[in-house]
Amino acid sequence: MEDKELKIIQACQGGELSQFSYLYDTYVDKIYQFIYYRVQHKETAEDLTSRVFMKSIDKIKSFQVDKGSFSSWLYKIARNTVIDHYRTKKADIDITNIWDLASGEDVARDIDVKDKLSQVDKYLEDLKPEQREILIMRVWQGMSHKEIANVLGESEASCKMVFSRTINKLREEMPLALFLAILLNKF
């Protein structure tokens, strides 16, 4: 953790929450992407991202530097927020919300991305939840094995082994173009 970030965290823990904006600016895009890959809905991801940062402001005093990095702590909050979201999620969902059709964004591109993601999902659903989680954090979030281990409460060696085995499994089962799209994050 860089010195500037540590000083800002300590200031926030001391009650100077106005400095939290630096932490927010540093991590908001990464946390949003982390959540979006799990919920695949723009507004839901935005809402959950906001919740993550509200929770992190409320609990900033509980963060301990000697227990891991701030980013790992933040990802744990994000992961738990997504889990809570799915526990309380309604079964009925408006179709326009799923596809973000009312947003007026590039619908053709969004449909293409959703098509590719659905192809990927066919392979990912065969993975164990831990394998899926580690793959997403490593490939799409660009997290190190150490950060993943901190988020999941596992050893770094275990995360490396699970990731390696998962990649090998996908390489054997997936068409090459789709496999490369995953690794290169070309969606």
Q: What percent of the chain has pLDDT over 90?
A: 39
With b for 16 or more beta-carbon neighbours within 10 A and e for fewer, the 99-130 pattern comes to bbeeeeeeeeeeeeebeeeeebeebbeebeee
User: Domain-by-domain residue ranges, the chain?
Assistant: 1-103, 106-187
Q: CB count, 10 Å around CB of 47?
A: 15
Q: Are 140 and 37 in contact (CB under 8 A)?
A: yes
For the segment 138-178, what is each residue's pLDDT rounded down to a tens digit?
Answer: 887 788 999 899 888 899 999 999 999 988 888 888 777 66
Single-letter amino acid code for the residue at 162? V
CATH class of 106-187: mainly alpha
Q: Which of 4, 40, 34, 3 is nearest to 19 (CA)?
A: 4
Total-model pTM: 0.66
Q: Are 2 and 60 in contact (CB under 8 A)?
A: no
Triad 165, 137, 59: Cα angle to 5°: 135
Distance, CA of 16 to CA of 38 (rounded, Å): 33
Mean pLDDT rounded to a whole number for the chain: 81
For the segment 65-107, what is each residue's pLDDT rounded down to a tens digit?
Answer: 888 889 999 999 999 999 999 888 755 444 444 444 444 454 4
Residues with Cβ < 8 Å from 167, sequence gap 6 or more? 135
1-103 CATH, one of 1.20.1050.10, 1.10.20.10, 3.30.413.10, 1.10.1740.10: 1.10.1740.10
For residue 185, what pLDDT band results from cuts at 50, 70 and 90? low
